[in-house]
Amino acid sequence: VDLCGHATLASAYVIFTYLDKTIMKVIFHTKSGMLEVSRERSLLSMIFPSREGEKCEAPEALIKGLGKRPKEVYQSRDYMAVFETEQEIMSLDLNMDELKKLDGLGVIVTAKGNEVDFVSRFFAPKEGIDEDPVTGSAHCTLIPYWKRVLGKNEFVALQLSERGGKLFCADLGEMVKISGEATSYLEGHINV
């Protein structure tokens, strides 16, 4: 994985919430390069390179792995399978052994949302992650696709994993902005 967005956002949240409530932006120097997190009201935002997928035929392992044939398939770092409805995304008959056979990192599934612009799920069984709860990197491919389909630049997206997560997304041309909320889960002290 290129970077861990969860850890980056959590670190920024701690800085914004507990260390310096006056700053609006923090930059992390990482092995992936400079990662900037900005605070906009209650949202934390990161900007990533857009990663548009190329239309392709659905590999047999993808169809078997998802339990049904998608309406369309695209490939970038991941396969992206497009379905008609949110219900289809929720009712996939998954076979992780089949999904492990695919090239690339993982599999994104998406459809137009009932109450949001689009929904998705992300599977990366080859990486030991059957289903990721919320996947910022998948939205680098989702955002340019949905811009083309819906004809707009800003989106509210919902990842439909068991834990789930709402993302606020924007297409910025060659870059995408992904925003979400963070919250404190646990506070404590460690004595060494």
| CATH value at residue 103 | 3.10.310.10
Would you state the pLDDT for residue 95? 98
Q: Are residues 81 and 14 in the same domain?
A: no
Question: How much is the pLDDT for 2?
Answer: 61
pLDDT value of residue 179: 95
Residues in the chain, overall count: 192
Mean pLDDT of 84-92: 97
Host domain of residue 12:
5-47
What is the spatial distance between Cα 146 and Cα 174, in angstroms, rounded to a whole number? 15
Domain membership flag for residue 189: no
Sole residue written with tokens 């989702």 = 142
The Cα–Cα gap between 36 and 16 comes to: 13
The first and second tokens of residue 177, run together, are 């902005």
Q: What is the mean pLDDT of residues 38-66?
A: 95
Domain count, the chain: 2
Query: Which single residue is written with the structure tokens 């990842």?
Result: 159
Tokens of residue 109, six digits:
């599934």
Share of the chain above pLDDT 70, in %: 98
Q: Same domain for 27 and 97? A: no
pLDDT of 27: 92
Phi-psi region of 128 (alpha: psi -120 to 50; beta: other; left: phi over 0): left
Mean pLDDT value across residues 143-172: 96
